[in-house]
Amino acid sequence: MAQTNTVADDLDVARARAYQRRRRLVLILRFALAVFIVGSWEMTTRVGCHGPDSATCVVDPFFFGQPSGIWSQLVSWVQKGTAQGPLWEQIAVTLEETVLGFAIGVILGIIFGVALGRNRLLSDVLGPYINVLNAMPRIVLGSIFAIALGLDIQSKVALAVVLVFFVVFFNAFQGVREVDRDLLANARILGASQSQLSRHVILPSALSWILASLHTSFGFALVGAIVGEYLGARKGIGLMIATAQGTFNANGVFAAMFILAVLAIIAEALIMRLENFLIKWRPNAINNPATM
């Protein structure tokens, strides 16, 4: 008995070691890939250049930027600020627009999704209009919002809301429609009123659908804020991109993109935590280490 136990222990130890080894390999390969891509980018923008004319390089850094240039752009933004004020202020403005648009869009999406999912008549009447609205390239509304709401935060929030709303709406709607009929029947037998059905059965059941939509919709909120700023603003990362474009500063565009990517990754991690917190009842709710 004791012997089989130690054998099992040995196996466990071996398995844990193999897992560690694999993990290290993955990390090393990831790092190597990044070094390779950034390195070859830097290299190709530096070799073959004749004199001051950057067009003679293998890859023209004037158009395609240069990792070292992007880095010095970031450093200069952090140290000296941007053309429209300190860097943190631009980030704060864009984040505020994104988060506000995201929150309003999510709440509206859930309310409308659940309402239409529960009410056949309402969904039959509104359904086609919502499909038409969804089929339209809504990003164009950004121009309308810029005209109607001006250069301040409102026009960007509105654009973010419009983009986020539909993603969340369709998921919430579908989530409500997919509710297990047996669970509804059971809750009714146990004594649930209509509002209790929503709270105890429909919302929890639709929650996994809604949460799944948050990942994509935060990205949409960011796009809404940036495009809104791009179309007309006094502050924000979108404006920094527009300014960089206006001065043919490719490194500036890439540097702004880098900042956005960092913001998006942080938001993604937060949403993941929220998801795991809210649906801890689901099997495998804990993330497996292979993701990210």
Partner 1 sequence: MREADAKGPAIELRGVTKRFVSPSGKSFTALRDLDLTVAAGEFCAVVGPTGCGKSTTLALISGLEPPSVGTIRVFGEPVRSVGRSVGYVFQRDAVFPWKSVLDNVAMGPRLRGADTEKANIQAREWIARVGLAGFELYYPHQLSGGMRKRVALAQTLINQPRILLMDEPFSALDVQTRALMENELLELWASTGASVVFVTHDLEEAIGLADRVVVITAGPGTVKGTYRVDLPRPRNIAEVRFQPRFIEIYEEIWKDLRDEVLVSYERSKHLVAS
| Residues near partner 1, by CB under 8 A | 180, 182-183, 185-193, 196, 200-201, 204-205, 207, 279-283
Cβ proximity to partner 1: between 83 and 285 the closer is 285
Nearest C-alpha neighbor of 77 from the set 262, 242, 244: 244
Q: Which amino acid is at 231?
A: L
Residue 82: beta bridge partners?
A: 85
Cβ proximity to partner 1: between 80 and 280 the closer is 280
The CB-of-127 to partner 1 minimum distance in angstroms stands at: 17
Cβ proximity to partner 1: between 56 and 186 the closer is 186
> Residue 82 in 3-state DSSP?
strand
The CB-of-286 to partner 1 minimum distance in angstroms stands at: 13
Q: Which alpha helices (H) appear in the chain, and where do they start and end?
A: 2-44, 61-64, 67-80, 87-118, 120-135, 141-149, 153-177, 181-190, 194-197, 203-231, 237-246, 250-278
- Structure token digits, residue 162: 């419009």
Cβ proximity to partner 1: between 98 and 171 the closer is 171
CA distance 256 to 267: 17
The CB-of-288 to partner 1 minimum distance in angstroms stands at: 16
The CB-of-197 to partner 1 minimum distance in angstroms stands at: 9
The CB-of-192 to partner 1 minimum distance in angstroms stands at: 5
Residue 63's CB: how many other CB atoms inside 10 A?
11
Cβ proximity to partner 1: between 18 and 185 the closer is 185
